Amino acid sequence: MEFEHMPHNAKVRIRLHSHHDGEDVVQELPGEAIVRGKHLYIRYEEPQESPEGGTTRNTVKIGPDELKLIRHGEVQSEQSFALGRRLPGFYRSPYLNLNMSAHTQKLDIRMDGFTGHVSWTYDLYVFEDFSGHFAISLHIQEEQQS
């Protein structure tokens, strides 16, 4: 996976699929892909289902063998994923602050330029207590320039 010799940014469409406790959530959103060094950053806004109706800006940092999900807005959180490792993270909202960690069982990164697929499965721990098993996939498609 080589990002260093690519253009610096592109518009993309993303399809985010999350599976937890038998529930599937699929979101299709516009986004932006940005190259910085050996990392590809995918940025997109997630509409919140809250009375305030705000948005949360999400950044997925894709590296050669790790992934980081950063959220800013109505909520703030940060979580890192690396195969076979349990890494710390946090979640903050106006109502709740949580220390979390994720133990990643699967991490598959397949990118060809700004188009590709990233999927990962992990166990989430909140304050050291098991909270659930999650499976996430992110499909990224570069938008064609007109």
User: Does residue 62 lie within any of the structural domains?
Assistant: yes
- The predicted pLDDT at position 91 comes to 96
Q: For the chain, what is the domain count?
A: 1
Name which of 49, 44, 38 is nearest 13 in CA terms: 44
User: Does residue 65 lie within any of the structural domains?
Assistant: yes
Q: Which domain holds residue 97?
A: 9-142
pLDDT digits (tens, 9 = 90+) for 95-140: 899 999 999 999 999 999 899 999 999 999 999 999 999 999 999 9
pLDDT digits (tens, 9 = 90+) for 62-96: 998 999 999 998 889 999 999 999 999 999 988 89
Q: What is the CATH number of the domain that holds 49?
A: 2.40.128.20
Q: Is the pTM of this model over 0.85?
A: yes
